[in-house]
Structure 1
Amino acid sequence: MKKYSSILLILIICALNTQNSVAQFRFSNLFGGKDKPRKNRLFEPNSTVSLGVGTSSYYGDISPYNRFLQSTVNGMRWNVNFNFTRQFSPTFALRFGLTYARISGDDNYLEGVKGYEGNFVRNLHFRNDIKELSIVGQYDLVRTSRSYLRRANIIPYIFGGVAVFAHDPMAKPDASLYGNGWVRLQPLNTEGQGLPGYANNPYSLISVSFPLGFGVKYKLNKHWDLGIEMSYRYTLTDYLDDVSGNFADPANLAAQSPLAASMGNRSLEKVAARSGKDRTQGVINYLTARGFYDPTAPYDPFTLTSIPGFSGKDDLRGNPSYNDAYMLTTVKLIYHIPSKIKCPVTR
């Protein structure tokens, strides 16, 4: 009996030693992998803040989509922004942004451009300061290992999300009548919005856009990156430029105020209000090509009571088929917020 007890004790000791060996075994060892503690393989979430400046461009009724390059350059203005980004994984981050951007457009950029003579005669312009709050998801195309301190020197990324913004289009009136300042357009109901006999209510000065873009981050040192990105924002409004539908009846606008009538139809202004350029020859060319002007018996076209196609409620002032958009390019300085200092594990 004592013999069997001794054999049983030996077997139990062998089994325990075998179990301990199996517990220490890692499948990756079959392929030469290193037996690293699991903790060293976990990604440490981190945060960044950034401050950027750049350009802004608008696309819509006054800067046509189908002249994308020219529209990008002609009305180019500026933007500034601040972002807070939380990196949740080696490739995914969530970003919250505040942006202040100015956009603008002017029909007089289209003087002499074939197919856009009517845009020039329309003679509208605007500027709009956009205040935007955005949240976007960002996907890095190069993975970051456990810590941001081990990030690659160059990381390209793509992003997309949603933004809410406030805007307020403005324009310069005829300086000979109203001085050289800027006036707000939405309260003037330039297309009859909200007036009796017109279907639409005044457009909202709060709207939504959908940012979509790409960028690149370049590592400067342990905590700082330099970034450059480009983003396109399609909006849910067609009134960034105060232009969308038909002309309003001048009499209806005049009943509201002389300024409303003046800003609703600007085709008979001799001087472009924003640039101060004389428009006479361009308007004469337009009228002559359409048989409305006799160059053999010249006269001042601005003495007309109206230009055909630019006066009645059935005449298009804009194109309601497409909403407005804007694009931002930004150069930014990015700071990686240091992680909390961790005490070493005591053994």
Structure 2
Amino acid sequence: MKIIYSIAFILFVFASSSSAQRFADVALSGGISNYIGDLGNEKNFPLSSANFGSSLTVRNFLNNPRRSGTYQRAFDMQVRFSWHRLQYDETNSIGGKEGSELRNYLRGIGFRNDLFGTEVGLTYNFLLNKRAPLTKPKFMGFVSVGLGVFLGEPKADLFRGDVALENRYYFWDDGTVRDRPDNEKHIGQEVKRDGVYETKLRDWNTEGQGYSREIHKTKPYDNCNVGIPMGLGVRYLYNKLLTLSIELNYYYFFTDYLDDVSGRYATYEELAASFPDVNQFTLAKYISDPSGRGTNGYSGLATSPRGNPNLSDAFTYLSFEASYKIKWKKKSIYGQR
């Protein structure tokens, strides 16, 4: 993460080093982030994972001070600060289907991860006329690629209130959430989930993570991860100061734990080693397997895979952006401009 911040700092220092007139584009965007990972009840793209995202971007600050800001460059450098809410819940109904009708309802895992990122990227602008003044509105396309560091902690809504066994949810086959386990007599009060994501999933070693090599085969994952944003879009140059854009970005990550799901369920032996207290051990079993149908506590045929460790997590970001060009001129050491 320090590397990304260092690069961004060096770029800004370089951009402001000249005493000549400088300019840069400052942009705000908002749009829809779509999580792509191990969870999902759709066969293809998980449209039901759509959530909000936003970003602040500074670009075109490495310009030539001898040239006017009314010329468009083929290549732009940009620094972007972003927030994306990634979320999915396999117990939610989709397209009229609910409960056991859903493809992965019996696994029944859900999460929310608010990702905060810092990116440094390169943008290539095409189909543009470099000599055309910005006072003439026009369109141009662009593609971009970059490198970013993102911080986010996967959480889950598994309790009505505090993390305690008496507050847990029970997911019935009919798609309802109740205060008692599913039973033939249908005894149990239907409850509504409170929407508070109180459970920090990493703390509960849901896939048997730990530091003891005798029991645990994998170490805990990091909440800070590297991602590669790749994008394309169209800009509309409204005037020489204001530019409007539509952009689609795909973010690829070198981790499979943005959703806390990657490989297999934790065995009861692994959970007992991490949580020797009986109450904590029971909580850990529930948090790892909320539906109670995913594992019998042992590695074997009776335990279904929790995720696919061969596929890293990703998300898309479809956004609308407004960019405004700012200008400044650094004072010389004699106070002159």
Please confirm whether the aligned pair reaches a TM-score higher than 0.5, indicating the same fold.
Answer: yes
Provide the secondary structure at the position in 2 that maps to 1:263: helix
Residues in 2 aligned to 1:229 and 1:250: alpha-carbon distance in whole angstroms: 46
Matched, 1:106 2:89: yes
Following superposition, the deviation at residue 45 of structure 1 comes to 7.7
Q: Say whether the 8 Å CA contact 1:163–1:211 is kept in structure 2.
A: yes
Deviates more, 1:195-204 or 1:184-193: 195-204
Following superposition, the deviation at residue 160 of structure 1 comes to 0.8
Alignment of 1:99-248 (within 5 A): 99-109=82-92, 119-145=104-130, 149=134, 153-175=138-160, 177-178=166-167, 180=194, 181=196, 182-194=198-210, 196=212, 197-248=215-266
Matched, 1:56 2:30: no
Work out the number of aligned pairs and report it. 256
Residues in 2 aligned to 1:110 and 1:195: alpha-carbon distance in whole angstroms: 38
Instruction: Could you tell me which runs of 5 or more consecutive residues in structure 1 were left unpaired when the two chains were aligned.
Output: 1-43, 269-306, 342-347
TM-score of the two chains, using structure 1 as the length reference? 0.66
Check 1:118–1:64 CA distance in 2 against 1; reply closer, same or farther (3 A cut): closer
Q: Say whether the 8 Å CA contact 1:85–1:96 is kept in structure 2.
A: yes
Q: Which has the larger radius of gyration?
A: 1
Check 1:116–1:336 CA distance in 2 against 1; reply closer, same or farther (3 A cut): farther
Following superposition, the deviation at residue 339 of structure 1 comes to 6.4
Residues in 2 aligned to 1:131 and 1:124: alpha-carbon distance in whole angstroms: 23
Spell out, residue by residue over 1:219-253, the C-alpha distance to the aligned partner (whole angstroms, 9 max, x if none): 22231111111100110010011011111123542
Following superposition, the deviation at residue 167 of structure 1 comes to 1.1
Alignment of 1:86-101 (within 5 A): 86=60, 88=63, 90-101=73-84
Matched, 1:328 2:312: no
Spell out, residue by residue over 1:272-330, the C-alpha distance to the aligned partner (whole angstroms, 9 max, x if none): xxxxxxxxxxxxxxxxxxxxxxxxxxxxxxxxxxx475642343211101010011111
Matched, 1:81 2:55: yes
Following superposition, the deviation at residue 108 of structure 1 comes to 2.3
Spell out, residue by residue over 1:101-130, the C-alpha distance to the aligned partner (whole angstroms, 9 max, x if none): 1010112257759x9966220110000000
Following superposition, the deviation at residue 178 of structure 1 comes to 3.2
Q: Say whether the 8 Å CA contact 1:59–1:65 is kept in structure 2.
A: no
Following superposition, the deviation at residue 82 of structure 1 comes to 0.3
Residues in 1 aligned to 2:294 and 2:23: alpha-carbon distance in whole angstroms: 62
Q: Say whether the 8 Å CA contact 1:144–1:151 is kept in structure 2.
A: no
Following superposition, the deviation at residue 84 of structure 1 comes to 0.5
> Cα RMSD over matched residues?
2.9
Q: Tell me the percent identity.
A: 28
Of 290, 294, 304 in structure 2, the residue corresponding to residue 266 of structure 1 is 290
Q: Say whether the 8 Å CA contact 1:129–1:168 is kept in structure 2.
A: yes
Following superposition, the deviation at residue 147 of structure 1 comes to 8.0
Following superposition, the deviation at residue 264 of structure 1 comes to 0.7
Check 1:147–1:308 CA distance in 2 against 1; reply closer, same or farther (3 A cut): closer
Q: Say whether the 8 Å CA contact 1:91–1:144 is kept in structure 2.
A: no
Following superposition, the deviation at residue 337 of structure 1 comes to 1.7
Instruction: Could you tell me which runs of 5 or more consecutive residues in structure 2 were left unpaired when the two chains were aligned.
Output: 1-20, 64-71, 169-193, 331-337
Check 1:145–1:104 CA distance in 2 against 1; reply closer, same or farther (3 A cut): same
Provide the secondary structure at the position in 2 that maps to 1:222: coil
TM-score of the two chains, using structure 2 as the length reference? 0.68
Q: Say whether the 8 Å CA contact 2:34–2:51 is kept in structure 1.
A: yes
Q: Say whether the 8 Å CA contact 2:139–2:235 is kept in structure 1.
A: yes
Greater helix fraction, Structure 1 or Structure 2: 1
Q: Say whether the 8 Å CA contact 2:156–2:201 is kept in structure 1.
A: yes
Provide the secondary structure at the position in 2 that maps to 1:266: coil
Following superposition, the deviation at residue 331 of structure 1 comes to 1.0
Greater strand fraction, Structure 1 or Structure 2: 2
Deviates more, 1:204-213 or 1:102-111: 102-111
Residues in 1 aligned to 2:286 and 2:296: alpha-carbon distance in whole angstroms: 13
Provide the secondary structure at the position in 2 that maps to 1:186: helix
